[in-house]
Structure 1
Amino acid sequence: MNKTIELVNLWGAFEEQHPTGSIEDFCRHHLAKQSQQNTQGTLVGGTVPPVNDGLLLKIIGRISKLNMNYANIALKGTCLNQIEEFGMLYTIKQEKNPRKTEIIYANLFELSSGTDMLNRLKTRGLIVEYNDMEDKRSKRIELTEKGEIAVETCKVKILKNAAMMVHDLTDDDKELCIQLLKTIEIKFSSMWQKHKEKDFEEIYNEVVETTETK
């Protein structure tokens, strides 16, 4: 096949799967598919899912859990006990004085467990809570001086842990992973709240039918 035609066909297949992808993303994607890395060790613990959908999600899940384990080790000796607490505090820092529910849902917590975590952070003097002047039913949260110090101190450790976890990936590898996975995160982050009370089959049909009709 003519190389120009082959390239056009490869680009067309990539663009169909990743309509927002750039030429740089395409090049990273193509090189990643061509490269054959000799990976040592056993892939995922326990049963290896027989289909790629399950295997991909198991790999992502295990990496996420390993990241939490190592991050929690990195946080030892600080005033934070787990990476989820850092996520809560960092959300507050970025948003300045967000509503309590905004913090909880942004970090993918259920209302009860997220409220419990914020209460523990408040008890330890890291945040303050006060009434929302625009909505008396809501509460807003701000970092205390102690909380600000905790965020900056722990941010260094969390970033160091992140660098360790992806140390073996090149910058292009990282960009490719982000490009491939970000649409899943964006999609389901926007939907999970409305899906909580629905039956799974209803959710499945809604998500799959919506995707297939586009």
Structure 2
Amino acid sequence: MAKVSAVPVVMEWERFTEEHPEGGMREFASWLLTNTNPLQQTQPHPGAEPLMKSGMRLSDAFREGEDFLAWFFMGRLIRYVKFYVKPMMTQHGMSGPDEFLFLSLIHEMDRPTKKEVCVAHAIELTTGMDILRRLIKQGLIEEGADERDKRSKRLTLTEKGHQTIQEISLALSQLEPSTLADLDDTERKHLLQVLQYLNNYHFPYYKP
């Protein structure tokens, strides 16, 4: 295998330390991803961002408002995903992706209670209970007695529920375009690490 030179990395390190004298390796890694990322060179699609009265794109006009831009783009991404999966959800009698996510959680958890599923999904109890009632009515999940607490009910998937998960999972694996677009493996892992970090950060504050 050809030897890869470390000189380009050293040169970037020199440039980084000039701009950020107090920065360490972690900051350098983040800076390197941002400043050498080919995604930065991607030309914006016309109409993908609204134009402000100044004539600037939204991301340029709100460059200092990082929280606002995060809300905006995460909200858009959620709407894109809902749009992509709507046909397959409708085909299986579901109103949206939340019902599939509930099924997946129940499948992977150890006979959870209704409340445990709602907490795991970080959703309001009233909304979560409505989703669970629909899944029971559709014959996708069923309630069973809790051997340790007769007052509680435990949830499991029915045979129909297992089949539905398999069919939707297969359809999702073939979904075009992919939710993560054409990001390479490194970019995907980095994005998921950031999302997991944000989830861990915000979860203690979230009281639905």
Coarse TM-score class (shorter-chain normalised): 0.7 to 0.9
The equivalent of 2:11 in structure 1 is 3
Give the drift of 1:53: 1.7
Number of aligned residues = 187
Cα distance change on mapping 1:43 and 1:187 into 2, 3 Å: same
The equivalent of 1:199 in structure 2 is none
Give the drift of 1:98: 1.2
Q: Distance in 1 between matches of 2:96 and 2:143?
A: 21
Q: Is the 8 A contact 1:126 1:143 kept in 2?
A: yes
The equivalent of 2:43 in structure 1 is 38
Q: Is the 8 A contact 1:79 1:150 kept in 2?
A: no
Which of residues 22, 26, 31 is equivalent to 1:15? 26
Q: Is the 8 A contact 1:28 1:176 kept in 2?
A: no
Does 2:153 match 1:148? Answer: no
Cα distance change on mapping 1:4 and 1:184 into 2, 3 Å: closer
1:39-76 deviation digits (Å, cap 9, x = unpaired): 22234458747312201221011101210121112333
**TM-score of the aligned structures, taking structure 1 as reference length:** 0.72
Where structure 2 has 5 or more consecutive residues not aligned to the other structure, the ranges are 1-9, 53-57
Which of residues 43, 57, 63 is equivalent to 2:71? 57
Alignment of 1:100-115 (within 5 A): 100-115=114-129
Q: Distance in 2 between matches of 1:123 and 1:46?
A: 46
Which of residues 63, 82, 101 is equivalent to 1:68? 82
Which shows bigger deviation, 71-80 or 104-113? 71-80
Cα distance change on mapping 1:89 and 1:161 into 2, 3 Å: same
Which of residues 95, 103, 109 is equivalent to 1:95? 109
Cα distance change on mapping 1:149 and 1:160 into 2, 3 Å: same
Give the drift of 1:158: 2.5
Give the drift of 1:31: 2.8
Q: Is the 8 A contact 2:16 2:31 kept in 1?
A: no
Cα distance change on mapping 1:119 and 1:78 into 2, 3 Å: same
Q: Which amino acid in 2 is paired with 1:107? A: H
Q: Of the two structures, which has the highest relative contact order with CA contacts closer than 8 Å and spacing of 6 or more?
A: 1
Cα distance change on mapping 1:3 and 1:167 into 2, 3 Å: closer
Does 2:85 match 1:85? Answer: no
Give the drift of 1:125: 0.8
Cα distance change on mapping 1:172 and 1:5 into 2, 3 Å: closer
Give the drift of 1:3: 3.2
Q: Which amino acid in 1 is paired with 2:14? A: E
Which of residues 125, 128, 135 is equivalent to 2:142? 128
* Structure 2 counterpart SS, 1:129: strand
Cα distance change on mapping 1:46 and 1:87 into 2, 3 Å: farther
**TM-score of the aligned structures, taking structure 2 as reference length:** 0.74
